[in-house]
Amino acid sequence: MAISEAEPAAVQAMTKSSLAPLRAIQHRDSYGNAIADPDRSNPTRSRWERPLDTIRSFEAAIDGGYSRKSMIRSGTH
Protein backbone atom coordinates (compact mmCIF):
# COMPACT_ATOMS: atom_id res chain seq x y z
CA MET A 1 0.00 0.00 0.00
CA ALA A 2 1.53 3.32 -1.14
CA ILE A 3 1.14 6.68 0.54
CA SER A 4 -0.41 9.34 -1.66
CA GLU A 5 0.51 12.95 -1.04
CA ALA A 6 -0.18 16.02 -3.18
CA GLU A 7 2.72 17.86 -4.77
CA PRO A 8 3.58 21.19 -3.08
CA ALA A 9 2.76 23.13 -6.26
CA ALA A 10 -0.68 21.50 -6.42
CA VAL A 11 -1.35 22.29 -2.76
CA GLN A 12 -0.34 25.92 -3.33
CA ALA A 13 -2.61 26.17 -6.38
CA MET A 14 -5.58 24.87 -4.38
CA THR A 15 -5.16 27.22 -1.40
CA LYS A 16 -6.09 30.86 -1.63
CA SER A 17 -3.30 33.23 -0.65
CA SER A 18 -3.95 36.00 1.85
CA LEU A 19 -1.15 38.09 0.30
CA ALA A 20 -1.98 40.82 -2.20
CA PRO A 21 -0.23 40.67 -5.57
CA LEU A 22 2.86 42.89 -5.80
CA ARG A 23 1.33 44.88 -8.68
CA ALA A 24 -1.79 45.69 -6.63
CA ILE A 25 0.22 47.74 -4.11
CA GLN A 26 0.87 51.43 -4.74
CA HIS A 27 4.65 51.71 -4.57
CA ARG A 28 6.59 54.89 -3.82
CA ASP A 29 10.03 56.06 -4.89
CA SER A 30 12.82 57.09 -2.52
CA TYR A 31 11.35 60.61 -2.28
CA GLY A 32 7.89 59.36 -1.29
CA ASN A 33 6.25 60.05 -4.64
CA ALA A 34 3.81 57.46 -5.99
CA ILE A 35 5.13 55.45 -8.94
CA ALA A 36 2.48 56.04 -11.60
CA ASP A 37 4.08 54.01 -14.42
CA PRO A 38 5.83 50.97 -12.86
CA ASP A 39 8.36 48.78 -14.64
CA ARG A 40 6.93 45.47 -15.88
CA SER A 41 9.69 43.29 -14.44
CA ASN A 42 10.04 45.26 -11.19
CA PRO A 43 6.93 47.23 -10.16
CA THR A 44 8.81 48.85 -7.27
CA ARG A 45 10.62 51.18 -9.70
CA SER A 46 9.48 53.52 -12.45
CA ARG A 47 9.48 52.20 -15.99
CA TRP A 48 11.97 54.90 -16.99
CA GLU A 49 14.42 54.32 -14.12
CA ARG A 50 17.57 52.48 -15.11
CA PRO A 51 18.42 49.32 -13.12
CA LEU A 52 21.77 50.81 -12.10
CA ASP A 53 19.91 53.77 -10.56
CA THR A 54 17.83 51.29 -8.55
CA ILE A 55 20.99 49.61 -7.23
CA ARG A 56 22.52 52.96 -6.33
CA SER A 57 19.38 54.03 -4.46
CA PHE A 58 19.42 50.76 -2.49
CA GLU A 59 23.08 51.33 -1.60
CA ALA A 60 22.33 54.90 -0.52
CA ALA A 61 19.44 53.71 1.65
CA ILE A 62 21.64 51.06 3.29
CA ASP A 63 24.78 53.16 3.76
CA GLY A 64 23.04 56.39 4.74
CA GLY A 65 25.67 58.99 5.59
CA TYR A 66 28.50 56.47 5.75
CA SER A 67 31.57 57.53 3.77
CA ARG A 68 34.35 55.16 2.86
CA LYS A 69 37.78 56.58 3.60
CA SER A 70 41.02 55.00 2.61
CA MET A 71 43.34 53.82 5.37
CA ILE A 72 46.39 54.25 3.12
CA ARG A 73 48.43 57.34 3.90
CA SER A 74 50.23 58.95 1.05
CA GLY A 75 53.45 60.90 1.05
CA THR A 76 55.64 61.55 4.07
CA HIS A 77 56.00 59.65 7.35
The domain spans of the chain are: 28-65
The helix/strand count (H/E) of the chain reads as: 2, 0
Question: Tens-of-pLDDT digits for all 77 residues of the chain?
Answer: 678 888 988 888 888 777 777 778 888 887 888 988 888 888 888 888 888 888 888 888 888 776 666 666 666 65
β-partners of residue 28 are 34
pLDDT, position 71: 65
pLDDT, position 75: 63
Find out whether 13 and 23 touch, Cβ atoms under 8 Å: no
